[in-house]
Amino acid sequence: MPQFAANLSMLYGEYAFLDRFRSAAQDGFQGVEFLFPYDYAVADVRERLQIHGLQQVLLNAPPGGTDAATVHSAWARGERGTACLPGREQEFRFGVDWALEYAAALGCPRVHVMAGLAPAGVELARLQATYLANLHYATSAAAKVAVEVLIEPINTRDMPGYFLTHQDQAHAAVQAVGAANLRVQMDLYHCQIMEGDLATKLHQYLPTGRVGHIQIAGVPERHEPDTGELNYPYLFNLVDALGYRGWVGCEYRPSAGTQAGATRQGLQWIPRG
């Protein structure tokens, strides 16, 4: 059965962020992931990991910004990454470098860099060239601290205009860059919405070795994996059978919201034994 990591940006929302580590450990998680840790001192995050015996398995590079203040507000103002955006290369590099500082300090082996929203009126070829050049920079910088760079196709219902939307697009980028530490973050929630046919996609991509991380959520509401249209027990068995030994991030919104005990209440879906 896969090893599951709690996504602390979505799970345990009933607690302050730094208190979510304890709750995840109490519920049996051994790994955690989150989006943007930059509002918190790296020493404070590292302390929570150490106290609760958790492994940091993934974090995101900043979605935009060139200093602490602008990174803090980037998500709220609609930034969804800068990797494909011509003219913002320095901003992208700042974000990558900052993410790698956190990753190195936390012992985190993976950083996800977001592609960004494709601006209107800019030729696709120019966006693609910028994207690949920025990925070359990110993978080169990450290799110096033994960190893997991930790229993730995201559905256009949740994130209209996002540049990277399909698995074949992501795998083509990985092959074009040709860096050993560039891989795909395969979120089955996003993949189902954009493409469907998940079992075939898993058969197609997991054996390549180019999938570095998997994430899950119920479709279409993005709640617990035992709700909605996907048969996750079947998919978990398939992931095992195909030899995937990485982490599976639980990136969903608990159906009970952020009321006390909401996350724990919905964890019955996790296979035991």
Catalytically active residues are 152, 251
Q: Dihedral sign, CA of 233, 238, 243, 248?
A: negative
SS (H, E, C) the chain: CCEEEEECCCCCCCCCHHHHHHHHHHCCCCEEECCCCCCCCHHHHHHHHHHCCCEEEEEECCCCCCCHHHHHHHCCCCCCECCCCCCCHHHHHHHHHHHHHHHHHHCCCEEECCECECCCCCCHHHHHHHHHHHHHHHHHHHHCCCCEEEECCCCCCCCCCECCCCHHHHHHHHHHHCCCCEEEEEEHHHHHHHCCCHHHHHHHHHHHCCEEEEEECCCCCCCCCCCCCCCHHHHHHHHHHCCCCCEEEECCCCCCCCCCCHHHHCHHHCCCC
